[in-house]
Structure 1
Amino acid sequence: MIGRFLAGRQRGAAGAVLARAVSILASFLLTVAVARLLGVEAAGSYFLVFTSLAVVATFGRFGTDNLALKICGGDSKDIFAELGYGVALASLASLVGVGFVYLAMIVVDYRLPGFSPGLTLGLLSAVLAQAFAVIAGAVLRGRGHLAKGIVAELGSIPVLAMLLLLMLRSIGALDLTTALLSLAAASWLTALWAVPTALVSLAGEERSSNGPSIGGFCRYVRSRFRPLASMMGTSLLFLVLTWSPLYALSLMGSLASVSYFTTAARLANLVSLVPALQVAYLAPAFARLFHSGDLTSLNAMSARAVRQAGVLLLFPVSALTIGAVPVITLLYGAEFEPAAAPLAVLAVGSLVMALAGHVNPLMLLCNLESHALALNVLLVALWATGGLWTAGEFGAVGVAWFSATVNTSYAVVAAWLLQSRGIRSYLALSRPDF
């Protein structure tokens, strides 16, 4: 039954897997390019700004990307109206986020080196572009155009940013300022192709007889605010938690430590390649199966995916733990050798998380947004206390251990919460009876 479902409803699964692989590889190669071209200290600044823009953009989307996936999966009777109001809400939230960050920079009298007020606003405008690109990608995935959606969400920005970096290097105009502005340019270029492509995918859908209105927008916000806020909060906190080590190290350590951890984390993310590839086509399938009430098929699909991932990840995890030093020095250079120890720790942690299953998309798609939000709030509190202390006392290696412990604990608790709702995400020692 699962095979027929995927064959009939999930078009282009092979293309989606390839697109996810290319996107993850592009993010990794961008890290290599930044490390090689900018050096340890400047690379640390670039990584911090890159992550911060993604954090503000996640707030700016206000959960509308996850809602778009659910809407296109059947959770709406008026797709155009819902998506239109969602984009309006995301635009408003993005502008609020940009304004808050800009005012905060003025209040604390902080300015990025080489950036005028105008250039700073140009850089921050990437928040709006990234929000549009990710929402468009979610629409494309929900409409069955999985490969295009994944590239819009994950792959296009790092690919374009890397190409722009190489172009700037070739003409001798590369420094931290131009590198960051090229990141903003890559974000807008992605939005410029992703949004029209998403609109084309909606061709044929019936439009509501009532046009958009302020009253309709207010009703949309009232009816959707709670789940949207939960989804936004969960996604935002998950991203913040993923890169909390960078902020902890920047506050309590040095930009060099930020560079070491980032390069190790990006390389360790390759361990998550298989689970990430699976999510490319499983997330829409999870949404459809859950909303149709077919938990038996959902559990069977999840169990099979986790078993496959567990087997396939044994070799890369072994390679990145045993051969951490030569791998780091080969890719990033001898000056990044201190990243080897964090790499080994993060690689093993990624394996444990993979065995817990696809808990994050399942929590967001299966009406457990508020539970996920509460878990993430708890973990933020842990990072604000133990994480900062660990960063100050033990540097990148200690933060890697703390990060792996926190993330695997989250995955285990999330798997238990899903199990309490009849959804089994984790690797079972024996074949479950569905």
Structure 2
Amino acid sequence: MITGLRNMDSDGREMIRSAGLAFTLRGLGAGLAFAFNVALARLLGAEGAGLYFTALSVVALATIVVRMGLDNAMLRLIAANVAEGNWPRALGVYGLGMRAVAILSLATSVALAVSAPLLADHIFAKPEVTLPLRVMSLAVFTFSMMMLGATCLKAIKHIRDAMLVSGVIYPLVGLVLIWPLASQFGPAGACLAYLLGTGLSAGIGHIVWTRSRPAGAPDFAVGPDLRQSAAPLWLMTVITTGVMPWAPLLLLGIWGTTEEAGLYGAANRLSLLVSFFLVAVNTVVAPHFAALYKQGKMAKLKRTVQRASVLILTLSSPMLLVLLVANSCVMSLFGPEFAKGGTALAILAVGQAVSAAVGSVNLLLMMSGHEREARNTALIGVVVMLACAVTLIPAWGLIGAATATSAGVICVNLSALCYVRVRLGFLTLPFWPGGKAAQ
């Protein structure tokens, strides 16, 4: 491995350096988010945490809908146009995307705040969800602006700034504020801490983008390209980052207990530690994928993809082992009553392990203009997940929710791997059949 690093070209060394920075900032953000969740669990207990996660699940689904698939569409188009020196079109993508999401997310925030009592009474049959949901509803706007701002910074390879905006600032602010706010106002106070953290991050992201962009007028003629790319990605994003992670929690909130919802919310967040390195590496390689494909450099694209995949798999394996062997101990960090969620954590970790093993398959499809194929993988996964959820959650509760989530994640990633092989002609790991070691 050391010899491989010595022989690596400048692009490979740049990827390693950028990935190292992403790992560091992602690790800091994950640590802050973990501390926030521990503080939440300690202050509110399983039932109070369940109310928080229930409100968060509604808002998370809403933010994914209002972003309309623009995250990855904006990332691809801005990165590709900047690579060709066409900043006016890149600025046009930013202006059109941010404006559309701002309008829709504000309207959705108001609608959720007004309808919170109806949702609490008639959907969840838990009137105590009303106030947390009403407070959290405003985060539809702040979180959406935060994530789009970070995506645009990522597209122009401002990795440090993108990671700070999307993963460090808001959990840090939330952690500082949760103790006084949750102690005083309970679950609604925890929601307020989240709202203020995402709002500050969104504002900082906009300031950094404004200072990073060159002077010049945006070219809004890019609108049709943006819509064409975003349309299939909207459905895919709604499914993979909205329905699949949050639907089991919503169904558990309806068919299970508030305590089970709290256990699932904590376990699901811990399981994401397995794919921690996948997310960090994706932050670095996404603009490279878009630029290389746009320029037709397929051999270099394959080499970059395979290097990233080997790195992800190598670094993710130790965390998977910990969550499989010591899951109850890890869950007990949230409090003794959370230890019973250990089995659910192990099941969820298996799904994330498959995601890490296949690498950046869906990202690669999106950055190479195969948005419809990426959408199809999401449709396959959500059908499997919903079938499992409807069948298993009423009978098995927490375990059923975890099993349904993992089954869906596995199907999405394996189908995406097949599409990459067919459309791009290679596999993401060099030692699989049909792969060849990247030099």
TM-score interval for Structure 1 and Structure 2 normalised by the shorter chain: 0.7 to 0.9
1:285-324 alpha-carbon deviations (Å, 9 max, x no partner):
1121121111212222222222233233333222221222
Q: What's the CA shift for 1:238?
A: 0.8
Rate the CA distance shift 1:198–1:71 in 2: closer, same or farther, 3 A.
Answer: same
Distance 1:112 1:185 in 2: 24
- Say whether 1:16 aligns with 2:22: yes
Rate the CA distance shift 1:3–1:277 in 2: closer, same or farther, 3 A.
Answer: farther
1:206 match = 216
- Say whether 1:124 aligns with 2:134: no
SS of the residue aligned with 2:184? Answer: coil
Letter in 2 for 1:406: G
TM-score calculated relative to the size of structure 1: 0.87
TM-score calculated relative to the size of structure 2: 0.86
1:163 match = 176
1:213 match = none
Distance 1:254 1:432 in 2: 50
Contact 2:37 2:334 in 1 (8 A): no
State how 1:98-247 maps to structure 2 within 5 Å: 98-102=109-113, 104-105=115-116, 110=121, 113=128, 123-168=136-181, 172-202=183-213, 204-208=214-218, 221-240=223-242, 241-247=244-250
Letter in 1 for 2:200: L
Rate the CA distance shift 1:135–1:6 in 2: closer, same or farther, 3 A.
Answer: farther
Letter in 1 for 2:344: P
Contact 1:26 1:155 in 2 (8 A): yes
SS of the residue aligned with 1:426? Answer: coil
Letter in 1 for 2:249: L
Contact 2:73 2:230 in 1 (8 A): yes
SS of the residue aligned with 1:207? Answer: coil
Rate the CA distance shift 1:252–1:21 in 2: closer, same or farther, 3 A.
Answer: same
1:174-229 alpha-carbon deviations (Å, 9 max, x no partner):
41122212221112111121111111111x24325x8xxxxx5xx65544323212
Rate the CA distance shift 1:28–1:388 in 2: closer, same or farther, 3 A.
Answer: farther
Q: What's the CA shift for 1:12?
A: 4.9
1:264-283 alpha-carbon deviations (Å, 9 max, x no partner):
22222111122222112111
Structure 1 unmatched ranges of 5 or more: 211-215
SS of the residue aligned with 1:74? Answer: helix
| Range with greater deviation from structure 2 (408-417 or 123-132) | 123-132
Distance 2:380 2:350 in 1: 23
| 1:432 maps to which of 415, 433, 436 | 436
Give the number of aligned pairs: 420
Distance 2:117 2:178 in 1: 29
Distance 1:422 1:73 in 2: 20
| Range with greater deviation from structure 2 (245-254 or 1-10) | 1-10
Share of identical aligned residues, percent? 21
Contact 2:313 2:359 in 1 (8 A): no
Pairwise CA RMSD: 2.8
Rate the CA distance shift 1:295–1:226 in 2: closer, same or farther, 3 A.
Answer: same
Rate the CA distance shift 1:220–1:101 in 2: closer, same or farther, 3 A.
Answer: farther
Contact 2:232 2:372 in 1 (8 A): yes
Rate the CA distance shift 1:90–1:10 in 2: closer, same or farther, 3 A.
Answer: farther
Distance 1:395 1:114 in 2: 20
2:3 match = none
